[in-house]
Structure 1
Amino acid sequence: MNYSRMTKSTVCALALAITLPVLADNNWYTCKEKQQQIEKQLQYARANENQNQINRLTSQKTDLAQNCTNEVLRQKYIQKIDKLNNKVNETQHKLAKAQSKGNNTNVENLQNKLNENQVKLQQAKQNFARFEQAAKQ
């Protein structure tokens, strides 16, 4: 196996692992946090007299008040984790098959995909743990 390619794959996976948590910080975790974020955006839109944004955010705020529950969000987190678990398992199975056939190009691609999926799964688990903590408050 080509070690320079493997090193590049590892570096890419690590970069993704570092980047995803930063990107995830822009996500909302509980209904209360979603409401607070919309309120902040509304204040900004009002300060800038952006009526289209005010209308959109007001509509989102109303929808949120009527439809958001932490139990629904909890189920979405669990579904995302289950989906990512399935992707990891499927990719591991494909990787093992490619390794047994000796298809190095396919092995490398699948290893990269597996690394990405594992990072996404770990991030989803961390987001869920953070959600559970925030939902208790």
Structure 2
Amino acid sequence: MAGRGRGRGRGRASGRKETKPSSSDKKVKRSRSSKAGLRFPVGRIARFLKNGKYADRIGAGAPVYLAAVLEYLAAEVLELAGNAAKDNKKTRIDPTHIQLAVRDDTDLSKLLENATIPNSCVMPFIHRLLITQFTEDFDDDM
């Protein structure tokens, strides 16, 4: 029985008092999103990357970087769509405003050229040659 101390205590020496961790010792749980200063869920994006089998291994910084890029793109589209809604004197953004915002911006239009936005309007477009031909015909008639 050597080395077991005195008393009936199990797992710790009975002579020592057990101390509870103070409030300053506790670590506050922070999500990876809050550590990175992001709103988009880093943990969920990491899970999607792992479950999607895009690669055998996913680095720790990859989901953070992807979340930051997605958050930036969403903020950009939201700002432009808000401006489009304000131009149309509306207080609510609908798919038409998103379509107008994306198609008016050259970079976003190139990025989302194959994307279909449901319940949005078709962008008005008249070819330049048709406009000049119409005005010339109209001037000749007068």
Structure number with greater CO (CA < 8 Å, separation at least 6) is 1
Greater helix content: 1
Provide the TM-score with structure 2 as the length reference: 0.30
Rg: which structure is higher? 2
